[in-house]
Amino acid sequence: MSLVFTLDEFAPKNTVTLYTADDTSFIMAYTNENTVHCEFGGQKLPLEQWGIDLKHGNIFENAYYFLTQSNEIWKAELLPSRELRMGLVRTVRAMFPEEEAYERGLMFSTVRDGRKYAYLLCDDPNDGIEVDVDEEEEDMGELLFIHRHKLIYRKKVNGFQGVSARNVSKNIICITTSASRSTEAKTRINTPH
């Protein structure tokens, strides 16, 4: 048995292609951080028509979620009928004391009653998972994702060889990897950015 690869076409420079859980493609072309073209399942997203200026976004399950410059969270999904549906999920709260902060990838956090909670941008902030350690005392690196109701952090360490995972608390797992790019490529954690 052998694999045969064929080249269909090259993606243009500054183009990102992502795939949903059901293998629908999402293509984004940009220049200098400005999105100029988004395509989901072969259909162009009407970002300009809707006055949407992308800030961050990523695939989660079978949809593309994105944060706009005006702090709105939107969802684009391709229905079984191949119809593209876009809708506003919610507006990010940016008022003290429950200010929301963008962390990385699909991750947000908020502080309630002096405690920090993290959640996916498509989730209700009130359902966040508590960051149950002092982040300043416990250097865990960057918050990556949520997996099985645990917050996953990645810490890059110079001179570290391999990959190590440890339970920091009941809600947090910290994965330690090498800070060097060559080792990181071999031990990359496959999570949305």
Q: How far apart are CA 52 and CA 68, in angstroms?
A: 6
pLDDT for residue 83: 80
Query: Using a CB cutoff of 8 Å and minimum separation of 24, what contacts does 83-88 make?
Result: 84/40, 84/41, 84/43, 84/45, 86/45, 86/46, 86/50
Q: Tell me what pLDDT residue 158 has.
A: 86
- With beta carbons less than 8 A apart as the criterion, state whether 187 and 162 touch: yes
pLDDT tier at 48, thresholds 50, 70, 90: low
Q: What is the DSSP string of 84-113?
A: EEEEEEEEPP-STTS-EEEEETTEEEEEET
Is the Cα torsion angle 158, 160, 164, 167 positive or negative in sign?
A: negative
What number is the average pLDDT over the span 139-161?
87
Q: Where a domain ends, among 91, 122, 155? A: 91
Instruction: Say if 152 falls within a structural domain.
Output: yes
**Domain tally for the chain?**
2
170 inside domain: yes
pLDDT at 186: 43
* pLDDT reported for residue 188: 45
pLDDT digits (tens, 9 = 90+) for 56-115: 778 888 888 888 878 888 888 888 887 878 888 888 876 554 678 888 888 889 888 888
**For 42-61, what is the mean pLDDT?**
73
CA distances from 146 to 8, 57, 112 (A): 35, 16, 19
Is 70 part of any domain?
yes
- Relative to beta strand 142-147, strand 15-19 is unpaired
Lowest mean pLDDT: which of 26-30, 46-50, 120-124, 156-160?
46-50
Q: Tell me which residue range forms the domain holding 178.
A: 100-186
Q: Do residues 24 and 84 both lie within one domain?
A: yes
Band of residue 190 on the pLDDT scale cut at 50, 70, 90? very low
Residue 6 lies in a domain: no
Q: What pLDDT is attached to residue 170?
A: 92
Among residues 39, 64, 91, the one where a domain terminates is 91
* Mean pLDDT for all residues in the chain: 77
- pLDDT band at 172; cut points 50, 70, 90: very high
Do residues 16 and 28 touch, judged by C-beta distance below 8 A? yes
Helix (H), strand (E) at residue 183: helix 181-186
Q: Which residues contact 115 (CB under 8 A, 6 or more apart)?
A: 130, 131
Instruction: Find out whether 88 and 73 touch, Cβ atoms under 8 Å.
Output: yes
